[in-house]
């Protein structure tokens, strides 16, 4: 019997090569996610999350409200970043301090495929990591202070850990039950991040049972399930400071189902997500956006006739089922927002990595042509990611821009802040905001201490600064007693704010040397 001994030098060189690959993918992901994080106007949803995080940071309280908001995980992840800054308090924080968290989550997400390199192969894992690093939609929402990117990171970790643990591939890597602990921890964080998490978890379990044809020891689900329950309970309860948060968490799926069934302004057809990915032109004459190359590669990666001969054949049978289930579940719900596409698109990108590996393993003519085409596709994706996140970051011609404020909202916030320098009360100057649609103004007026919000016109309206919607403008003007300087600012492309500044304050403001807008 001939025994082949492994060369320790070759193993060391291979390990170093793998480290270089991982660092390179991380560098690409960072390059797209870190620059100019404060430039884009704060979305209303981002502002809501920032205010809630500010409350947690300053008071230590993170009480979960299942009727209106998502889980508190994002806030807990952000507080350490705020501790490390010199902001001092919520008023002193800046946009990048919050957006840094999803940006780093996006970088970590691009590295998760390497946890499955033993199944997929290093070529497939590297390709999947690079695609996650440069995908326009993943880049765009990695720069968004909402729950979606952390949710998808935890989903990817739950998928990787769960597959390794449940498929029995733990001994080969020497991690034993730690894969199950990783899966359970990630699943618990998923549940504590957003109410849509059960959709992905159900899709994972269903896909796994189909691939294994039901031949799985149900006891293997117990340990990850117990870990997930403990982690979710700790986060929802504010680490046991608010035990009622656990009961609220149990009610949250029902609240989400009621919201999803209604939809309101967010009702879209079943093919909404696929349309955004394949071919999107939100505005006539605007640029076309497409990640169809990734979808084509995923079809190659999932092609059954090739699956049996590739590394990780079982995983590559699992991923199409998981991806299909997630897209079906999300597409069947009338309530749709574009960032929800990330959970299903994760499976597509992992399969696309396998598709890249299949092309690279082909004969020389096919491999040469494939490498050239893959290079062009990568450059196209990177170009779209750059345009989407830096050129069209808040432009409706970008399909990932959704109900987004315009640049005017930043100018309005700066004007009101500047006006306090001409008022005797300073930052305690009274500001009345009369409109049901006012986010993200609480973010831009966070340095002022006396800002009131009304959804309907109150009896007393007069204040140094009054801001109202165009729909309520006439009703507000009828109740104003003094003389006011009139001006207008955009909130969103289809929403205008009427601003009234007390005439005396306006004159003082001009005298102290501030330029009028």
Total domains present in the chain? 2
- Overall average pLDDT of the 16-33 stretch: 96
Q: How many CA atoms lie within 13 A of 423 on its CB side?
A: 23
Residues 231, 188: Cα–Cα separation, whole Å: 5
User: pLDDT at position 262, please?
Assistant: 67
Q: Looking at the structure, do residues 384 and 493 belong to the same domain, yes or no?
A: no
Percent of the chain past pLDDT 70, that is, above it, reads 91
User: pLDDT at position 65, please?
Assistant: 75
Q: Which of 438, 450, 445 is nearest to 414 (CA)?
A: 445
Q: Looking at the structure, do residues 378 and 442 belong to the same domain, yes or no?
A: no
Indicate the residue among 391, 421, 452 that finishes a domain.
391
Q: Looking at the structure, do residues 175 and 303 belong to the same domain, yes or no?
A: yes
Domain of residue 412: give its range.
Answer: 408-511
Asked if the model's pLDDT at residue 214 lies above 80, the reply is no
Q: Looking at the structure, do residues 144 and 251 belong to the same domain, yes or no?
A: yes
Burial label for 502, CB within 10 Å (0-12, 13-18, 19+), is: buried
Burial 432-449 (b: 16+ CB within 10 A, else e): bbbbeebbbbbbbbbebe
User: pLDDT at position 67, please?
Assistant: 66
Q: Looking at the structure, do residues 57 and 91 belong to the same domain, yes or no?
A: yes
Q: How many CA atoms lie within 13 A of 508 on its CB side?
A: 14
Indicate the residue among 363, 391, 419 that finishes a domain.
391
User: What 3 state SS string does 109-171 have?
Assistant: HHHHHHHHHHHHCHHHHHHHHHHHHHCHHHHHHHCCCCCHHHHHHHHHHHHHHHHHHHCCCCH
Asked if the model's pLDDT at residue 119 lies above 80, the reply is yes
Number of residues written out for the chain: 517
Indicate the residue among 334, 364, 391 that finishes a domain.
391
User: pLDDT at position 10, please?
Assistant: 62
Asked if the model's pLDDT at residue 467 lies above 60, the reply is yes
Residues 446, 325: Cα–Cα separation, whole Å: 42
- Overall average pLDDT of the 430-447 stretch: 96
117 or 311, which is more confident = 117
Q: Looking at the structure, do residues 368 and 446 belong to the same domain, yes or no?
A: no
Name which of 128-142, 148-162, 312-326, 417-431 the model is least confident about: 312-326
Between helix 148-166 and helix 95-111 the angle, nearest 10°, is 20
User: pLDDT at position 218, please?
Assistant: 74
Q: Is residue 400 part of a domain?
A: no
Name which of 43-47, 111-115, 508-512 the model is least confident about: 508-512
Name which of 128-137, 309-318, 354-363 the model is least confident about: 309-318
Q: Looking at the structure, do residues 281 and 374 belong to the same domain, yes or no?
A: yes
Residues 60, 66: Cα–Cα separation, whole Å: 19
Helix, strand, coil % in the chain, rounded to nearest 5:
65, 5, 30
pTM of the complete model: 0.93
Q: Is residue 55 part of a domain?
A: yes
Q: Looking at the structure, do residues 207 and 96 belong to the same domain, yes or no?
A: yes
219 or 308, which is more confident = 219
Q: Is residue 198 part of a domain?
A: yes
Residues 263, 142: Cα–Cα separation, whole Å: 25
- Overall average pLDDT of the 302-319 stretch: 70
303 or 318, which is more confident = 318
pLDDT, tens digit, 9 for 90 and up, residues 41-91? 999 999 999 999 999 999 988 777 776 678 999 999 999 999 999 888 999
User: pLDDT at position 457, please?
Assistant: 95
- Overall average pLDDT of the 366-390 stretch: 95
Average pLDDT of the residues of the chain: 90
Lateral strand order in the sheet of 465-469: 451-454, 431-434, 465-469, 495-502, 484-492
Q: Grade residue 6 by pLDDT with cuts at 50, 70 and 90.
A: low
pLDDT, tens digit, 9 for 90 and up, residues 397-416? 999 999 999 999 999 999 99
Q: Is residue 397 part of a domain?
A: no
pLDDT, tens digit, 9 for 90 and up, residues 388-397? 999 999 999 9
Residues 434, 443: Cα–Cα separation, whole Å: 16
Tell me if 187 sits within 8 A of 158, measured CB to CB. Answer: yes
In sequence order, which residues have a C-beta less than 8 Å from that of residue 305 and are 6 or more positions away? none
User: pLDDT at position 517, please?
Assistant: 46
Q: Looking at the structure, do residues 480 and 344 belong to the same domain, yes or no?
A: no
Q: Looking at the structure, do residues 453 and 358 belong to the same domain, yes or no?
A: no
DSSP 3-state of 87: coil
Q: Is residue 401 part of a domain?
A: no
In sequence order, which residues have a C-beta less than 8 Å from that of residue 503 and are 6 or more positions away? 482, 483, 484, 485
User: pLDDT at position 309, please?
Assistant: 46
- Overall average pLDDT of the 301-324 stretch: 76
User: pLDDT at position 13, please?
Assistant: 72
Name which of 86-100, 237-251, 496-510 the model is least confident about: 237-251
Residues 149, 153: Cα–Cα separation, whole Å: 6
User: pLDDT at position 496, please?
Assistant: 95
User: pLDDT at position 363, please?
Assistant: 85
Residues 448, 465: Cα–Cα separation, whole Å: 12
Burial label for 495, CB within 10 Å (0-12, 13-18, 19+), is: middle
Q: Looking at the structure, do residues 150 and 17 belong to the same domain, yes or no?
A: yes
Q: Looking at the structure, do residues 261 and 142 belong to the same domain, yes or no?
A: yes
User: pLDDT at position 174, please?
Assistant: 45
């Amino acid at each position: 019997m001939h025994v082949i001994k492994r060369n320790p030098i070759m193993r060391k060189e291979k390990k170093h090569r793998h480290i270089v690959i991982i660092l390179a993918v991380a560098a690409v992901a960072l390059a797209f996610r870190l620059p100019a994080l404060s430039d884009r106007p704060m979305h209303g949803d981002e502002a809501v999350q920032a205010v809630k995080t500010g409350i947690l940071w300053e008071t230590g309280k993170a009480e979960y409200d299942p009727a209106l908001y998502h889980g508190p995980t994002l806030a807990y992840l952000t507080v350490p970043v705020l501790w490390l800054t010199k902001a001092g308090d919520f008023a002193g924080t800046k946009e990048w301090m919050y957006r840094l968290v999803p940006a780093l989550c996006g970088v970590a997400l691009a590295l998760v495929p390497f946890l499955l390199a033993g199944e997929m192969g290093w070529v497939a894992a590297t390709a999947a990591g690079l695609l996650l690093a440069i995908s326009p939609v993943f880049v765009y929402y990695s720069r968004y202070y909402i729950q979606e990117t952390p949710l998808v990171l935890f989903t990817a970790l739950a998928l990787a850990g769960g597959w390794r643990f449940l498929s029995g591939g733990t001994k080969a890597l020497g991690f034993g039950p730690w894969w199950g602990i990783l899966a359970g921890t990630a699943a618990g964080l998923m549940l504590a991040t957003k109410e849509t998490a059960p959709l992905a978890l159900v899709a994972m379990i269903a896909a796994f049972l189909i691939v294994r044809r039901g031949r799985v020891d149900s006891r293997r689900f117990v340990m990850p399930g117990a870990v997930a329950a403990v982690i979710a309970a700790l986060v929802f309860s504010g680490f046991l400071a608010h035990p009622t948060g656990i009961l609220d968490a149990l009610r949250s799926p029902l609240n989400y189902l009621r919201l999803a069934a209604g939809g309101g302004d967010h009702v879209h057809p079943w093919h909404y997500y696929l349309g955004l990915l394949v071919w999107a032109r939100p505005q006539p004459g605007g640029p076309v956006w497409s990640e169809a190359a990734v979808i084509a590669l995923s079809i190659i990666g999932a092609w059954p006739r090739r699956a049996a001969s590739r590394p990780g054949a079982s995983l590559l049978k699992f991923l199409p089922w998981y991806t299909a289930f997630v897209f079906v579940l999300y597409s069947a719900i009338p309530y749709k927002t574009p960032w929800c596409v990330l959970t299903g698109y994760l499976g597509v990108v992992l399969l696309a990595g396998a598709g890249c590996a299949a092309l690279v393993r082909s004969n020389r003519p096919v491999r040469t042509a494939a490498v050239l085409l893959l290079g062009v596709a990568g450059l196209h994706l990177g170009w779209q990611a750059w345009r989407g996140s830096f050129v069209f970051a808040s432009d409706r011609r970008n399909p990932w821009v959704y109900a987004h404020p315009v640049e005017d909202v930043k100018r309005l916030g700066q004007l009101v802040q500047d006006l306090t320098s001409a008022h005797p009360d300073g930052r305690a100057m009274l500001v009345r905001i009369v409109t049901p649609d006012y986010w993200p103004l609480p973010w831009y007026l966070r340095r002022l201490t006396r800002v009131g919000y009304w959804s309907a016109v109150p009896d007393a309206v007069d204040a140094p600064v009054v801001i109202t919607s165009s729909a309520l403008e006439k009703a507000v003007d009828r109740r104003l007693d003094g003389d006011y300087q009139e001006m207008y600012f955009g909130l969103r492309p289809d929403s205008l704010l009427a601003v009234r500044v007390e005439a005396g304050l306006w004159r003082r403001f001009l005298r102290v040397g501030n330029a009028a807008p």
